Amino acid sequence: MKIEENILERARLWTGNNFDQETRKQVEHLIQNDPTELTESFYRDLEFGTGGLRGIMGVGTNRMNKYTVGMATQGLANYVKKMFPGETPKAAIAYDCRNNSEFFARTTAEIFSANGFQVYLFESLRPTPLLSFTIRHYGCHTGVIITASHNPKEYNGYKVYWNDGGQLVAPHDTNVIEEVQNITDVSAINFDKKPELITIIGEETDKAYIEKLSTLSLAPETIQKHKDLKIVFTPIHGASVKVVPDLLKAFGFEKVYNVPEQDIPRGDFPTVISPNPEEPEALTMAIAKAKEVDADLVMATDPDGDRVGIAVRDHNHEFVLLNGNQAASLIIFYLLTQWKAKGKLQGKEYIVKTIVTTELLREIADDFNTECFDVLTGFKFIADIIRRLEGDKTFIGGGEESYGYLIGDMVRDKDATISCAIIAETMAWARENGKTLYELLIDIYVKYGFYKEKLISITKKGKAGMEEINRMMDKFRNHPPAAIDGSKIVVIKDYELSMEKDLETATETLIELPKSNVIQFFLEDGSVITMRPSGTEPKIKFYFGVKEKLNQKEDYEAVAQTLDNKLNRLAESIQQV
C-alpha cells in the first residue's frame, strides 16, 4: 500500500523534537512497517466535538494520546481564562478504568496547572457523576473526565464540563471547539507543570457526595422494614465499584452482593463482550450470582458509572431485563407518588425527558399535575434545563431511553449512583405494597396505558451511504407519507426547521429547542416515529413508540405481543417510505 504524501508529511512532523522519544519511535515504526495504521492514525485530526474527544488510543493526529489530549486541554484552558478574567481558574479531573485513563488525567492536570489553574485531581478512578458533583462542590470553572463510556476497549475519551457541573452547551461548546482548533501545533501546549497547584482528592469528596445523595431517600422507614432485600451489583470492571455499594448501604440496604471478578478495574473488560449495560450479555455474571444468592434485584453500571441496567424477577420468579424506558417509568412514578404523599408537590416541580424517551413519562407527570419538559437527545440538555430554571422551579427527576437517569439536582449529568439507590428503594416500596417491581410496572401500564418502544439503527457505508441517508431525511421532510401502517400522521415535528405542523388543523407552532436534524411523526393511533441521523457517520436511527390500553394485568402477555407486532410493522413500513 502506497502512503499518500500529505499523510506521510503529517506523520514526519511527529518525528521531530517537539515529541517525546517513545512517540517518535512509534511513528517511525509505522512509517517503515504499517502503512495502513499510519494512514488511519494521521489522515485527519481527531475531532474535538461538543462533548470533547473520543477515539482509538495510539500515536497520531487521529488518535487519543498525550498530544491530542494536550491540545484539547490547552484550548480549554485558554477559553476558561478568557471567560473568567481576574479569577484564579479551577478545574476538577477524574478518570475511569480504561487503559491510559490515569496517564491522560495526570497529563490534563499538569497542563491545567502549567496554565495557572488550581487543579483537583482524584487519586484513583471515579464515576462521571462524581466529577459533575465535584465541580460544584469545589467551585470549579470547568472539569474533565477521561472516559469512553461503553465504547470498545481500544477507545478512550475526554469529556468536558462547565462550572454548573453540566456538559458544554451553547455558546460554550462551539467556543471551546474554536479555541481547541486554534492550537495547531504541539509547541503551543504548556507542559511546564506546577505540582504545587495540583490537589489530590479522594475519600473526603466521596463522603460529601454520598452524604448529599443520601438526603434524596424518600422512604427510609420503608427501607428499614425491607433492609434484607437482596441486591446484586456489578460495575463491570468500572468506576462505580465503591460508590454504588456505599450509597446503597447509606440508604439502609444491608444485603448487597458483588461479582468479585467484575469488581477488579480493568480496561480490557475481560469478563464481557461489551461493558454496555444495554446489552443482555453484560449482565450474565450478575444474574448468575443473583440466582446463587436468591437475590431480588440485579444492577450493572457502565465503565464510567453514569448508566445502569437492571434485571428483576417476573411472575415466574425468572429474571427479566428492563429497558431504559421501563426503568425511567418506574423511577418517575415512584418519585411523584412519594412527593405527592409527602405534600411536596406545590405546582412548581417538573421532570425532564428527551424527545425519543417514552411518552409514558408525560402521562405520569400529567396525572400528578407536574410539568414535563422535552429536550433533544443528550443529557447535557437536561442539565441545561435545570440550570436555567434553578431558583424558579424544582427538578424532581428525569431520564433518557439509553439507561441514563438523574434524581435531584446535586449532579448535572446522568447518575447511576443515585439511580441504583432509588431503584432499590422503589423495589422496597413495592414490596411494602405487596408487589414486585415487575408487577408495579404492569400496574403502571394498566393505569396509564401499555407503552412499548423499539430502536433500529441502519448503517450505510461510506460517502454514498451518507448521501443516501440525506436523501431519506429529505424525503421524510418534504414528502412525508399520509399514513403509516394504516394510521394517519396527524402531527409532524421537524427540529431542523424548528416547526411543529398539526395536519388536522393546518396550524404550525414554533419548537423552542436548538436546531437538530430530527423529524418525528405522531400517528392518529398514538404511535410515534422518530428519525435521527448521525452527524459523524453514515448511520440513521429510527425510534418507534406504540401504545395500547391494558384493561387488566392478566392481559399483559397478549397485549405485549400485539405491540411487538405493531412495532415490527412500523419498522418495515418506514423503511419502505
Q: How confident is the model at residue 535 (pLDDT cuts 50, 70, 90)?
A: low
Q: How confident is the model at residue 463 (pLDDT cuts 50, 70, 90)?
A: confident
* Same domain assignment for residues 298 and 406: yes
Boundary of a domain, candidates 448, 468, 483: 448
Q: What is the CATH number of the domain that holds 185?
A: 3.40.120.10
Mean pLDDT of the chain: 96
* Same domain assignment for residues 436 and 460: no
- 25: domain range? 1-43
Segment 49-107, tens digit of pLDDT: 888 999 999 999 999 999 999 999 999 999 999 999 999 999 999 999 999 999 999 99
Across residues 344-354, what is the average pLDDT?
A: 97
* Same domain assignment for residues 322 and 429: yes
Segment 554-568, tens digit of pLDDT: 999 999 999 999 999
User: Across-strand partners of 199?
Assistant: 120
- 8-22, 378-392, 464-478: segment of lowest average pLDDT: 464-478
* Same domain assignment for residues 428 and 466: no
Exposure on the CB side of residue 354, measured as CA atoms within 13 A: 27
Residue 226 and residue 252 in contact, taking contact as beta carbons nearer than 8 Å? no
* Same domain assignment for residues 326 and 409: yes
Segment 225-282, tens digit of pLDDT: 999 999 999 999 999 999 999 999 999 999 999 999 999 999 999 999 999 999 999 9
The CA distances from residue 200 to 72, 214, 485, in Å, are: 22, 25, 59
Kindly calculate the radius of gyration of the chain based on its CA atoms and give it in whole angstroms.
24
Q: What is the CATH number of the domain that holds 560?
A: 3.30.310
Residue carrying the nine cell digits 405542523: 501
* Same domain assignment for residues 515 and 501: yes
By the 10 Å C-beta count (0-12 exposed, 13-18 middle, 19+ buried), 489 is classed as buried
* Same domain assignment for residues 10 and 91: no
Q: Which residues are catalytic?
A: 149
User: Across-strand partners of 526?
Assistant: none
Percent of the residues in the chain that have a pLDDT greater than 90, as a whole number: 94
* Same domain assignment for residues 463 and 512: yes
* Same domain assignment for residues 175 and 221: no
* Same domain assignment for residues 441 and 499: no
In the chain, the number of structural domains is 4
Neighbours of 299 (CB within 10 A): 29
DSSP structural state of residue 496? T
Q: How confident is the model at residue 152 (pLDDT cuts 50, 70, 90)?
A: confident
Boundary of a domain, candidates 140, 175, 201: 201
pTM of the full predicted structure? 0.95
Q: Choose among 108, 161, 171, 169: nearest CA to 138.
A: 161
CA 178 to chain CA centroid, Å, is: 24
Residue 532 and residue 561 in contact, taking contact as beta carbons nearer than 8 Å? no
Q: Identify the pLDDT of residue 241.
A: 97
pLDDT above 90: residue 575 = no
pLDDT above 80: residue 462 = no
pLDDT above 90: residue 467 = no
User: Across-strand partners of 300?
Assistant: 234, 309
Strand, coil or helix: 460: coil
Segment 33-54, tens digit of pLDDT: 999 999 999 999 998 888 899 9
* Same domain assignment for residues 347 and 486: no
Work out the angle at residue 448's Cα, subtended by the Cα atoms of residues 445 and 450, and round it to the nearest 5 degrees.
40
Q: Identify the pLDDT of residue 556.
A: 97
Percent of the residues in the chain that have a pLDDT greater than 70, as a whole number: 99
Segment 112-127, tens digit of pLDDT: 999 999 999 999 999 9
Report how far residue 399's alpha carbon sits from residue 331's, in angstroms, rounded to the nearest whole number.
9
Q: How confident is the model at residue 536 (pLDDT cuts 50, 70, 90)?
A: low
Q: Identify the pLDDT of residue 311.
A: 98
Strand, coil or helix: 288: helix
Exposure on the CB side of residue 153, measured as CA atoms within 13 A: 15
* Same domain assignment for residues 354 and 274: yes
User: Across-strand partners of 120?
Assistant: 92, 199
pLDDT above 90: residue 339 = yes
Instruction: Output the nine-digit C-alpha cell for 60.
Output: 497520531
Segment 393-403, tens digit of pLDDT: 999 999 999 99
